Amino acid sequence: MALTREQIASIATLARLDLTSSEIPVYQESLSAILEFVGALERADTSNVTPMAHPLPGLTQRLRPDVITEGDGHERYQLNAPQTAAGLYLVPKVIE
Amino acid sequence: MSALYTRTLTQLAEGLRRRSFSSVELVGELLARIEKNQPLLNAFISVTAEEALAAARAADRTLAAGGGGALTGVPIAHKDIFCTEGVRTTCGSRMLDNFVSPYNATVVAKLKSAGAVVLGKTNMDEFAMGSSNETSFYGPVRNPWNPQLVPGGSSGGSAAAVAARLVPGATATDTGGSIRQPAALCGITGMKPTYGRVSRYGMVAFASSLDQGGTLTATAADAALMLREMAGFDPRDSTSVERPVPDYVAALAEPIAGLRVGVLAEFFDQGLDPENERCVREALKVLEGHGAKVTQASLPNLPLSVPVYYVVAPAECSSNLARYDGVRFGHRCEKPRDLNDMYRRSRGEGFGAEVKRRIMTGTYVLSAGYYDAYYLKAQRVRALINADFARAFNGVDVLVGPTTPTPAFPIGAKTSDPITMYLNDIYTIGANLAGLPAISVPCGFVQGLPVGLQIVGPHFSEARVLATAHAFQCATDWHTRIPVGYA
């Protein structure tokens, strides 16, 4: 199935990706080709097959007790932040 | 003392324990090789020479005092996907170009406590998305067997570094073949353990139900030694498996006489280069000559593994990579107009073309109206493939076949068509979808280029997979070949 320019722009919006106008046709072509390629899955008979979400069948997600195990490392972690002040991450103003 | 670099990781660990040479000598020799070859191969993103020499001096003191662990003083490199405290961890992306990890991945911590000395961080496809190491923000890695060719990917830097004997072993990760495919293309041994065997904590996430850490080394014995130190339960990884780690090194002695080997019919398809096939068929004769019982095996749904993968992996990737928002770490664009503009431009600038392609594919297959047709359908076909493997392992102990359809290809040859590139992993993806342990070992050469034999086992059969590979390497010498110019 061929995706339109508008569909690519809408996917990019959902994915929060800024695309240049020259990138759009490139992804139009390659995403359409990928969707056609994975379309082969339609041919498989999967009636009564339970979808597999985990590679080790039967294994369930382990839970841990709800207790604090990590110390406060925010100063160390914030060394990687683009902008901080008073221990907070700064972002452009959201509410005027 | 010269030419320590030609020795295997196992031999070096032993030599260090006997104090036949020092870790400082060994590390110095390898750092010089890395420096000399970096301009051509581009196998490293960061070289941590000073830290390595300091760690080597400390290792020598420990060894002199009669102490030390299994890898004390042994030099290794980490794929730049593993977080290393105080060292830049880029994942091959502009997005993380400035990221200095505040903590160690469990794999890094475990190898450190076993005594390994880290020489640096190796180059890789951006966020491990690629089969040729051409998507790295830091430029392509070149194949030591021929610098015009790709080393494979995504663990191309680790593979090239080990093949060129710049380091005796390196960590790597495998989501769809990213350990085994570069191992095959570079003529070395690449081991991907069972999903959940090696902790994913601190390993930058790509597709969480498929990602698994493993090793690139010259030999299966080296892989056994390294994996024994890396594997094990980790409460910090919610899918880590609580199960004791066998002594993989001790298990290498296990004979393969009577081993039931299934030859995967689907792996000998029309895409397989006839010369690759010849090498793999000869390898089967070697196994047979050592008492293995070779039979035919079939996984009828395996041809759908690549389409399943290119729904599941992008879906998980689009979710995992949502964390790169320019807020807490990673690239942030200049002068954002508002929050949304910051997200969009930071991500648009920080991610490369292939990563964006996969994020968008994943976003699409998870979006309203398409989820059932693509994502859920793929997860159902994944169950069929898993059931195929389970059935096959009722009759055989291991499954074997080629690792890749062809030997290494030229840089640039497949970059314009993503699907041609994706088909490189046609024989490796199945093991990821089913979470199985698998190894690639060198089994011959085609026009001077190495070919890989793949051995896949049932869940948690690493010991047997490694022992089979080791038996093959005891009977052949393909794994001892070093590319011209690096010997």
B366 touches chain A (CB under 8 A): no
d(CA B291, CA A95) in angstroms, rounded, equals 73
Please name the residues between 51 and 90 in chain B that touch chain A, using a CB distance below 8 Å: none
Contacts of A91 in chain B (CB under 8 A): 327, 339, 342
Instruction: Looking at the complex, report in whole angstroms how far the Cα of residue A66 sits from the nearest Cα belonging to chain B.
Output: 13
| pLDDT score at B320 | 98
Q: How confident is the prediction for chain B on average, in pLDDT?
A: 97
| Angle ∠(B283,B403,B430) on CA atoms, nearest 5 | 125
Active-site annotation holds for B132: no
What is the domain-level CATH number for residue A15? 1.10.20
SS3 content of chain A, % helix, strand, coil (to 5): 40, 5, 55
Architecture of domain B4-254: Alpha-Beta Complex (3.90)
A11, part of any domain: yes
A6 touching B, CB under 8 A? no
Closest to A52 (Cβ–Cβ): which among B356, B359, B386? B386
pLDDT score of B2: 57
Q: Which alpha helices (H) appear in B42-179, and where do they start and end?
A: 49-64, 106-113, 156-163
The residue assigned the tokens 């060394």 is A79
Q: In what order do the strands lie in the sheet with B260-264?
A: B44-47, B117-122, B75-79, B169-174, B212-217, B189-192, B438-446, B449-456, B398-402, B260-264, B293-297
CB nearest to B343's CB, from A16, A64, A93? A16
Answer yes or no: B79 catalytic.
yes
Model confidence at B1, in pLDDT bands (50, 70, 90)? very low
ipTM above 0.90, yes or no: yes
B367 assigned to active site: no
Angle CA B256–B259–B261, to nearest 5: 120
What is the domain count for chain A?
1
For B7-29, the pLDDT digits (tens) are: 999 999 999 999 999 999 999 99
Domain containing A12 equals 5-42
Decide if A82 is inside a domain: no
CB contact under 8 A, A16 and B344: yes
**B332 has pLDDT over 80:** yes
pLDDT of residue B440: 98
In angstroms, the CA A92 to CA B464 distance is: 56
The more confident residue out of B375 and A55 is: B375
CA distance B333 to chain A (A): 10
Q: Which of B79, B110, B112, B414 is catalytic?
A: B79
Determine, yes or no, domain membership for A14: yes
| pLDDT over 70 at B237, yes or no | yes
Average of per-residue pLDDT across B42-54: 98
Among A38, A47, A74, which would you mutate to test the B interface (most chain B Cβ atoms within 10 Å of its Cβ)?
A38
pTM above 0.80, yes or no: yes
Q: From CA B293, how far away is CA B272, in angstroms rounded?
A: 24
Is residue A16 domain-resident?
yes
Beta bridge partners of A88: A85
Where in chain B are the domains? 4-254, 303-379
Distance from C-alpha of B214 to C-alpha of B230, rounded to nearest angstrom? 8
**Would an 8 Å CB–CB cutoff place A48 in contact with chain B?**
no
Residue A94 pLDDT: 83
B249-254 long-range contacts, CB within 8 A, separation 24+: B249/B221, B249/B224, B249/B225, B251/B224, B251/B463, B251/B464, B251/B466, B251/B467, B252/B220, B252/B221, B252/B224, B252/B466, B252/B467, B252/B470, B253/B467, B254/B463, B254/B464, B254/B467
Of the residues A23, A29, A41, the best mutation for testing chain B's interface (the one with the most B CB atoms within 10 Å of its CB) is: A41
Q: According to the model, what pLDDT value does residue A70 have? A: 86
The letter for the amino acid at B5 is: Y
Q: Which residues of chain A have pLDDT under 70?
A: 1
Instruction: Tell me which residue of B468, B469, B418, B478 sits closest to B443, measured CA to CA.
Output: B478
